[in-house]
Structure 1
Amino acid sequence: MSTVEQLAAIDRLRARPLPAARGGPSRGAEGGPGFHLADLRVSEEFWEDDGSRMREAEEQFEAECEALVVLLSRRWGEPRVLDLTEHLIRSAEGEAVPEPLATLCGCVGVLYAWGAGGRWLAVGLGRQGRELPLRLLAVVAEEDPETPDREDRDGRGSPETRG
């Protein structure tokens, strides 16, 4: 998928109604309550690789992600960079992590996020294991999952009261 096609896929995600419940893949996207998640590109698997194909794929996917970040930044301004490591640790310790970050933190290290026309939009690179495919993905949500008042609505309290 070209960068133009990737941008069009992101625009289609932004335009679609958001699901009320968790759903499986459909029309190239999956999602959960209030968000869509779509693979914009998926690499091959790397089971029989000596590391060279994986390095080449990583470089290509990083370049494609950077190009998307530049183009999306032209539309929506500079992105907020989210390191999902803290969310992965919280999830592993049994703490609640808001969606879609809970879904993403097991495979994505960093997201580039924007407020985009009344929705929250993020792109990033993911992989669930060294031999498994790389994924260039996009997520569109109803609202920023790290908004403090969302935590109040989710019943977890504000950051100050969670302790």
Structure 2
Amino acid sequence: MDIAHHLGAIDLLCTREFPAAHGRTEHGESGPGYHLAVLQTSVDFWEDDGTEREETETQYEFDRDGLAERLTERWGPPDAFSLWSVFRRSAEGEAVEEPWASLSSHVPDVLLWKSPERGRWVALGVSRWDKELPFQLLALITDMDPP
């Protein structure tokens, strides 16, 4: 993991204006009120017996925590925020604002800070789409309060 590169992406997205429409960017995707950066992506696990997936999941959690240490030095300790209830509410048809609704469908929990420089939320999480699909280390920068 390249912490300096990931911090640079987060810093850039904390200062970049949000677009008026959803679209792809060099870091992932953006839309009204948010930027979602894919900081790191693993290999897929189509041929895996489960061992490699478990090791990779552990490594991605360590990488998230290492990056979180640097953000904690800047902004203080994060809040641990579970997205399980957000996912459940969204799945049951409740209107949940983006980017939180989509994020909750594959990220079970995030570490969450409020950046004092811009007043934006910064969330770090590990995406777990499905057992065959790769893990992703994600950073969400948004001005929308967590649900």
- Decide whether the 8 Å contact of 2:9 with 2:27 is kept in 1: no
Provide the residue aligned with 1:130 in structure 2.
Answer: 131
Instruction: Spell out, residue by residue over 1:110-153, the C-alpha distance to the aligned partner (whole angstroms, 9 max, x if none).
Output: 1111111221111110121111000100010124233xxxxxxx
CA contact (8 A) 1:47 1:132 kept: yes
Larger deviation, residues 12-21 vs 102-111? 12-21
Within 5 A, what are the aligned runs for 1:1-163? 1-23=1-23, 25-116=24-115, 117=117, 118-146=119-147
* Residues 98, 145 of structure 1: 8 Å contact kept: no
Q: Partners in 1 of 2:78 and 2:98 — Cα distance?
A: 19
What TM-score, normalized by structure 1, do the two folds share?
A: 0.84
Structure 2 Cα separation of the partners of residues 47 and 3 of structure 1: 28
3-state SS of paired residue (1:47):
coil
Q: Which runs of at least 4 in structure 1 moved beyond 4 Å after TM superposition?
A: none
Structure 1: gaps of 5 or more residues: 147-163
CA–CA distance in structure 2, aligned partners of residues 125 and 112 of structure 1? 10
SS in 1 for 2:80: strand
* Alpha-carbon separation, structure 2, partners of 1:103 and 1:35: 12
TM-score under structure 2 length normalisation: 0.93
TM-superposed CA distance for 1:28, in Å, is 2.0
| Amino acid in the other structure paired with 1:40 | L
Q: What is the percentage of aligned positions where both structures have the same residue?
A: 45
Q: Which has the higher contact order (CA 8 A, sep 6+)?
A: 2
Query: Match of 2:9, SS?
Result: helix
Distance 1:128 1:55 in 2: 14
CA distance in 2, matches of 1:128, 1:141: 21
Return the alpha-carbon distance in structure 1 between the equivalents of residues 15 and 53 of structure 2: 34
Retained in 2: the 8 A contact 1:124–1:138? yes
Q: Between Structure 1 and Structure 2, how many residues are aligned?
A: 145
**Larger Rg, first or second structure (1 or 2):** 1
**Deviation string for 1:15-57 (max 9, x for gaps)?**
211122222x221220221000010000000000111211221
